[in-house]
Structure 1
Amino acid sequence: MPSVKEQGAVYGNLLAYKQYTRPSAQRVFGQYSFRNKKGPKHHENVQRLLEILAINGKLTTWGMAKTHLSDTSNIRSQEKDYRRLLIGRMARGKHTMGLLDIGLVVKDGKNIQKAPADLYRLSLHGILYCLDVINLSEKDLEKMAEKYADVLPQIFGRWKYLKSMIGSDTDRLKTLASGMFMDNIQISNITALPIYELMTYLNVKYQNNFEQINEEDLADQISYWFYTNLLIPSKRSNTNESKQWKKLLDNDLALKKWYYKFVDEAISFYTNRFKQIKNLKS
């Protein structure tokens, strides 16, 4: 993974996504898909660019334009437009924020076939925004999972396996994208499983990364949230959620080892906190 400096964008943890990135992106780039609700042309242009990156992965601005244009002069003109959308622009002395400014897109290497050119792709915040706002088809979602398998390995890297095991419950990732953390104490009334405790620890684990987080850690935070959320009973399912969840992990030992490391951390955290509570009486 490229470093934060190499990516040319800064983003924070999931709380930062909920409190800053998502509302900022919705304000500047739209809170509804341009296909569902007509809005400013700028919103449509940005969302089309994000859609191109979602289903194609890393591209130069020239490569983005070539996905739907063939005439060289048109490609060159579109490339300039895409560059402005990415880095923003000055208009009447005011800077218009670009996708890099808000952290929805990052740089990821260079294409050196001709003149060196930056390659761009969605950030993890950008992936969440696409899931939240852009009306991606199931086919496009599969393409995004394939292209970003190395960015979100515990989920997109196992997408076909997850679809075969839990079907449409993969849509729970869209719940996170919509800003619902499921860390409200009311969850403890839904199930006896320690979902609230795990979600609370998840916030504690990454609490110092509001302003900045590296991509691997954010991918882990998203993935821990996703697999913990799968323990919440689904209205669509009559099966035992815990039993199905354990089967999901038991059939993938690497996934099981990775997730239970997080569980062990949570156990250690709460064990220490309980000791501190007991010390109040001593």
Structure 2
Amino acid sequence: MKSKRMATWLSSAVLMLAAGFTQAAEKPIVFAVAAEPYPPFTVKGGNGQWSGFEVDLIHKLCEGMKAECQIKEVAWDGIIPSLLAKKIDVIFSSMSVTDEREKQIAFSRAYYDSLLGVAGPKGSEVEISPAGLKGKLIGVQISTVSANYLKKYYENIADLKYYDTQESANADLIAGRIDYMMADDTAIAMMVKTPEASGLAHIASVPYDPIIGRGVGAGLRKEDTALKARLDKAIGELLVSKDYDDLSQHYFGLSVSPCKRGDTPAFVSKTCDSPYQQVAQKTE
């Protein structure tokens, strides 16, 4: 009996040791952020280290998945090609979930939600319509939902100026070289808080449109279903945690949590009051 128990113990020990080696041998998950900083979501310090809301979320998610992770910067316009070429594993860089992007890649469940808005001189008003934007010089970052929206509806109505980075668009608006700038509400909110942008304000919200997408999610290869399942679970658990609320308040002073949607996993119970989702539900 003793020898049988010893054999059983040794067998279990070998399995545990093998599992340990398997876990240790698992490759790090490579998360990509856009090389172009997008404060306060991603900020690159003088030492080359990244920080910001999304970087903090990456660390929390990797803790939740008990996974070793790396952060790699990739130029925004090459970030999807890098994913498809298997140079990275996850895009985690304020990428909105849209039908067009889903033709190429898969997405995790949304980890934050944001409206689109327009920034301009404080005290000014603008109507998001052909009449309101006709002939106006509007700045926008390339390859973004904002750029897609403007190109679809206002390319032949307004004068559109495209920028490689959000910071460049902000700088031109601050300097008065463009009339308005379109971006995520959260990015605008952070910009107008800076001393150099004291003369600017969020002056209009963009009406919901399907091109805007269904929140912001992590981009993955379609075949990486196991990684998507792990990430979805970790995001769902993080969204209902105090950690998420604390990070959201720290960076934005408000909640950017996505609304509970019809396809949301059952373990997420709290609802959210995203204006986009309210409008989207009314128009469906």
Shorter-chain TM-score bucket reads under 0.3
- Max Rg structure: 2
Q: TM-score, normalised by structure 2?
A: 0.25
For CA contacts below 8 A with separation 6 or more, give which structure has more relative contact order: 2
Q: TM-score, normalised by structure 1?
A: 0.25
More strand by share: 2
